[in-house]
Structure 1
Amino acid sequence: MSKGWQDITTEQVESRLSKDPGIQLIDVRNPDEYEVGHIPGAKLIPLPELPARINEIDQSREVIFICRSGNRSGKACEYLTQLGFANLNNMVGGMLAWTGKQERN
């Protein structure tokens, strides 16, 4: 049985970003983690705030969830799948595996 979302590698995310810089990236880490370094264009929605902020996610577009290691982003995908969201991706390995560009706040 399919789990309702795709696991995606950091290399696949970089490749997709090079083709579509406006792809929807949601970072579900805590604000202090996000400030240390995040993927340019990633929107911060900490996992505990996700239920109250799901209206900020465009359901008509593909979304890639990001966290430190891939655990919290997987939980975000699982939660949103239960709510009927589609086109969800979990960046496996998270920011620990990310070798691309980062912004800092």
Structure 2
Amino acid sequence: PITQLIDYEQFCGIPPAQATEQAGQTEIPEITVAELKARMDAHQDFVLVDVRNPNEWEIGRIPGAHLIPLPQIENGDGVEQVRRLLNGSELIVHCKSGARSAKALKILQAAGIQGKNLRGGILAWAEAYDPSIPKY
């Protein structure tokens, strides 16, 4: 019988943010969904990039986000797309829970592009602001 849920991130080999920082790897700056919502409400200038896959994008999205899937960032095409979108604006990146967007930000940082990771991803956004987005 199943008695408890596994840690999905650990099971998939995605290290927790604290372990990554302790290992001396590049720290990924984060922003909370409350901070993102406040920036949206204040009409601040930023670019929100969603690095999930197109099928996930169809399930639900944060208003104003631009879809640039992680595989496109990994192959370099997405890096140039992000560079074109930014035009001096701040970058905020999100995925489902925050792991893929952190990976995308590491790649973007290596290309000289700074940004922030949305802590908890679209799942945190759905929980706090948009319950119409299905949790998948």
Superposition TM-score tier, normalisation by shorter sequence: 0.7 to 0.9
- The structure-2 alpha-carbon separation of the partners of 1:8 and 1:65, relative to structure 1 and needing over 3 Å to count, comes to same
- Between 1 and 2, higher relative CO (CA 8 Å, sep ≥ 6) is seen in 1
TM-score normalised per structure 2: 0.67
2:94 aligned with 1:71: no
- Please say if residues 49 and 68 of structure 2, whose CA atoms lie closer than 8 Å, have aligned partners that are also in contact: yes
Q: Give the number of the structure whose alpha-carbon radius of gyration is greater.
A: 2
Deviations 1:45-70 (A, max 9, x none): 00001121222222521010010000
What is the identity, as a one-letter code, of the residue corresponding to 1:24?
V
Return the structure number with greater helix share. Answer: 2
Structure 2 regions of 5+ residues with no counterpart?
1-23
What is the percentage of aligned positions where both structures have the same residue?
Answer: 37
In structure 2, how many angstroms separate the alpha carbons of the residues matched to 1:100 and 1:21?
Answer: 18
Structure 1 regions of 5+ residues with no counterpart?
none
2:114 aligned with 1:91: no
Partner of 1:54: 79
Select between 55-64 and 1-10 the one with higher mean Cα deviation: 1-10
Per the TM alignment, residue 23 of structure 1 is displaced from its structure 2 partner at its CA by 2.4
What is the identity, as a one-letter code, of the residue corresponding to 1:39?
I
- Please say if residues 79 and 111 of structure 2, whose CA atoms lie closer than 8 Å, have aligned partners that are also in contact: no
Aligned Cα RMSD in Å?
Answer: 2.3
**Pairwise mapping of residues 15-54 of structure 1 onto structure 2 (< 5 A)?**
15-20=38-43, 23-50=46-73, 51-54=76-79
In structure 1, how many angstroms separate the alpha carbons of the residues matched to 2:35 and 2:71?
Answer: 27
- The structure-2 alpha-carbon separation of the partners of 1:16 and 1:39, relative to structure 1 and needing over 3 Å to count, comes to same
2:80 aligned with 1:80: no
Aligned length: 103
